[in-house]
A and B are shown apart, each in its own frame.
Chain A
Amino acid sequence: MEPSAPERDAGARQVLRMNLAAVYARASVRIKASFRERSWLIGETLFPFLSMSAFVLVYRGLHAPREYEGFVVLGGAMIAYWNNVIWGMASQFFWEREQGQLQLYLITPDSRMSILLGMALGGIAMTTTRAAAILIGGVLLFHVPLPLSRALPAFGLFVLTLGAAYSLGMILSSLFLLWGREVWHTATILQEPIYLFSGFYFPVSAMGMVIAVAGSILPVTLGLDGIRQVFYGPAAHGLLPLPWIPPIQIALTALFLYVAARMLRHMENLGRHEGRLTVRGD
């Protein structure tokens, strides 16, 4: 006799509840950490703000249009999220393994995606402090033009961009899971080129069509381009027409989530096969 439909539904509900609890639990670690680690506030908000300020002052010194200062502020805020995707979520399984506690996650009955989603949501909450500090500081200190009347559509595109970026982070997480140290070095090496080719501090179209489209594989590139278009219109020198960007971000999110689920399962099985999920030997 097979389990009845209500039994299956009850089982599915129980699994869903368990995974939601895991998402909340993992997210809460990040959120609590952001309130308890005072030094983090300085390192994560003050220093990036100084970096962003430098670019604003350069543009101001060059008498660039005021919109360019807005590009920098938005780019500075988006960098915070991208860094969180890489160093706060994708690499987390590698760090857990180094600390000998990856196995505690891997023996749980939760989907790896739930744990990563918890890390992502916690990371977003944590990073928003930094991003907000950059935005508010830019507007108040440098009087950077940021038309609030367009904030709502910009926020909508921002949410879609985060969805795609953190989904990509889940794919990268599967790579960190198995080849942690190598991927870590690669990510470190690629950090500055990504800042460049994603157009964090200038319109990405300035890189030329081919490089800009290649850079758009990263959802933050296209998302940032779109958000700048929302705020500044044609002055943003957009890469793609604005109406194209939300559907592309949605499609990327779906694609990345699908690939991430497959990759995580594949990498975990490969790790189980090769005995590379734990550091402690017999």
Chain B
Amino acid sequence: MEAAGRLLGRGSLLTRSTDAIDTRGLTRTFNARRRSGEVRALQGVDLTVQKGECFGLLGPNGAGKSTLIKILTTLLLPTSGRALVTGYDVATEPFQVRRRINLVSGGDSSGYGVLTVRETLHLFSQFYGVPGPVARRRAEELMQVTGLLEKADQKLAGLSTGMRQKLNFARGFMSDPEVIFLDEPTLGLDVEASRDVRAFVARWVRERPDRTVLLTTHYMMEADELCGRVAIIDHGRILALDTPTALKRTLPAEPVFEFQVSATGQDLDRLREIAGVRSMSHHAHPATGAVELRVVVEEDDVIGEVLGRLKALERSVLHLTKMEPSLETVFIHHVGRGLSDEEAAERDGA
């Protein structure tokens, strides 16, 4: 932990971390209502995010991402361990932390139907004491880059869901926070809006080298594009943490093949029986009904046997690609399943 001596009140000399975020042994348990025992949402999380970083937190649903963000934004107390944000303890110095942070939760909207877009941005800036002229200038800039300018004087009640989400996103930047927590910021946004949001975050970080972003996302490409470092979290533990490039490099040099095969035929799990198949996952493509199959093999030659077995299982191969290492493959390697598999399972279950 990079630390600098900083003199604090009450006559005590303490060292404050100069890291944007610093957690040590952070745990959080919840009492399960419907079953006995506890749910351990975070289990000894050690994490350091330096000032000026755009840091990504990747994990499946229930991995502990939002719990961690709630603790870091002072909405939740840790069960044990310590978390500092901009050097202040989230448990004992929440007001100091709150002056320096903001939070955007994707899928949420903020404000009141009777207010206009411009008024809403101004409203939330006032809770941080942003001087009026600064708030007005900042609101104009944010509306410009988020494409809200032409709706500036429209009441929120008349805005589409996507526009309200964009407004919520812009709101988070009105206080020009030292650390901004972006919890799935592009959730539910269309492709173009998501691209605008990503471009804005990239520019914001570039233009403000002392500002920090902690981003959670389901979209690997988003993390790859924006984040200097990425942590993969599952079951409340950090499984891997490094730059996207370094994480990809740590992957065993095992070829990954993606197939699209016909929906009908025999059980695909029998592919696991093939010697040389390391892991395999599959899910139905929601649009075509075909099955998307991902196979990790020890060496390229094994794929011949996989093709043979698919034929034996009466599955036609519609498409076959050899995958380059990506954050998705890193994620699968550590978590044991892909986020797209998880989403597919949720859809199937729904």
Interface presence of B271 (CB below 8 A): no
Contact of A106 among B64, B75, B126 (CB under 8 A): B75
Interface presence of B66 (CB below 8 A): yes
Question: How many chain B residues have a CB neighbour from A under 8 Å?
Answer: 43
Interface presence of B136 (CB below 8 A): no
Interface presence of B129 (CB below 8 A): yes
Contact of B112 among A29, A106, A109, A269 (CB under 8 A): A29
Q: Are A107 and B73 in contact (CB under 8 A)?
A: yes
Segment among B94-102, B198-206, B284-292, B323-331 that sits at the interface with chain A:
B94-102
List chain A residues, Cβ under 8 A from B119.
Answer: 32
Q: Give A28 to B123 CA distance when docked, in angstroms.
A: 9
Q: Are A33 and B114 in contact (CB under 8 A)?
A: yes
Interface residues of A in 1-50 (CB under 8 A from B): 1-3, 14, 17-18, 21-22, 24-26, 28-29, 32-33, 36-37
Known contacts A22-B126, A108-B128, A278-B70, A36 near B114 by CB under 8 Å: yes
List chain A residues, Cβ under 8 A from B11.
Answer: 2
Residue of A nearest to B181 (CB): A107
Question: Could you mark each residue 293-311 of chain B with 1 if its beta carbon is under 8 Å from any beta carbon of chain A, else 0?
Answer: 0000000000000000000
Q: Are A107 and B102 in contact (CB under 8 A)?
A: yes
List chain A residues, Cβ under 8 A from B124.
Answer: 104
Known contacts A278-B75, A282-B66, A109 near B114 by CB under 8 Å: no
Q: Give A24 to B155 CA distance when docked, in angstroms.
A: 20
Contact of A105 among B77, B114, B127, B155 (CB under 8 A): B127
Q: Are B115 and A29 in contact (CB under 8 A)?
A: yes
Known contacts A101-B110, A280-B105, A29 near B123 by CB under 8 Å: yes
Interface presence of A277 (CB below 8 A): yes
Interface residues of A in 141-167 (CB under 8 A from B): none
Residue of A nearest to B119 (CB): A32
Q: Are A33 and B75 in contact (CB under 8 A)?
A: no
Interface presence of B43 (CB below 8 A): no
Interface presence of B133 (CB below 8 A): no
Known contacts A2-B11, A108-B127, A277 near B76 by CB under 8 Å: yes
| A contact face: mostly helix, strand, loop, or mixed | helix
Interface residues of B in 56-80 (CB under 8 A from A): 61-67, 70, 73-77
Interface presence of A241 (CB below 8 A): no
Q: Are B75 and A282 in contact (CB under 8 A)?
A: no
List chain A residues, Cβ under 8 A from B66.
Answer: 280-282
Residue of A nearest to B68 (CB): A282
Interface presence of B9 (CB below 8 A): yes
Interface presence of B7 (CB below 8 A): yes
Interface presence of B41 (CB below 8 A): yes
Q: Are B76 and A275 in contact (CB under 8 A)?
A: yes
Interface residues of A in 237-282 (CB under 8 A from B): 269, 272-273, 275, 277-278, 280-282
A26 CB to nearest B CB, Å: 8
Interface presence of A100 (CB below 8 A): yes
Interface residues of A in 87-102 (CB under 8 A from B): 100-101
Interface presence of A103 (CB below 8 A): yes
Q: Give A39 to B66 CA distance when docked, in angstroms.
A: 39
Known contacts A25-B127, A101-B110, A109 near B99 by CB under 8 Å: yes
List chain B residues, Cβ under 8 A from A272.
Answer: 74-77
Residue of B nearest to A277 (CB): B75
Known contacts A2-B7, A14-B129, A103 near B103 by CB under 8 Å: yes
Residue of B nearest to A28 (CB): B123
Q: Are A18 and B103 in contact (CB under 8 A)?
A: no
Q: Are A107 and B114 in contact (CB under 8 A)?
A: no
List chain A residues, Cβ under 8 A from B129.
Answer: 14, 17-18, 21-22
Q: Give A24 to B132 CA distance when docked, in angstroms.
A: 12
List chain A residues, Cβ under 8 A from B9.
Answer: 2-3
Interface presence of A110 (CB below 8 A): yes
Contact of A18 among B30, B77, B109, B128 (CB under 8 A): B128
Contact of B101 among A22, A107, A115, A269 (CB under 8 A): A107
Interface residues of A in 131-189 (CB under 8 A from B): none
Interface presence of B108 (CB below 8 A): yes
Q: Give A145 to B66 CA distance when docked, in angstroms.
A: 61
Residue of B nearest to A34 (CB): B114
B100 CB to nearest A CB, Å: 8
Query: Which of A26, A100, A272 has most chain B Cβ within 10 Å?
Result: A272
Q: Give A275 to B66 CA distance when docked, in angstroms.
A: 12
Residue of A nearest to B91 (CB): A272
Q: Are A33 and B7 in contact (CB under 8 A)?
A: no
Q: Are B108 and A22 in contact (CB under 8 A)?
A: no
Q: Are B110 and A104 in contact (CB under 8 A)?
A: yes
Q: Give A105 to B75 CA distance when docked, in angstroms.
A: 10
**Residues of chain B at the chain A interface (Cβ within 8 Å):** 7, 9-11, 30, 41, 61-67, 70, 73-77, 95, 98-99, 101-103, 105, 108-112, 114-115, 119, 122-124, 126-129, 155, 171
List 9 contacting pairs A-B, 8 Å CB cutoff, sorted by A: A2-B9, A3-B9, A36-B114, A104-B171, A107-B103, A272-B76, A281-B66, A282-B66, A282-B67
**Residues of chain A at the chain B interface (Cβ within 8 Å):** 1-3, 14, 17-18, 21-22, 24-26, 28-29, 32-33, 36-37, 100-101, 103-110, 115, 269, 272-273, 275, 277-278, 280-282
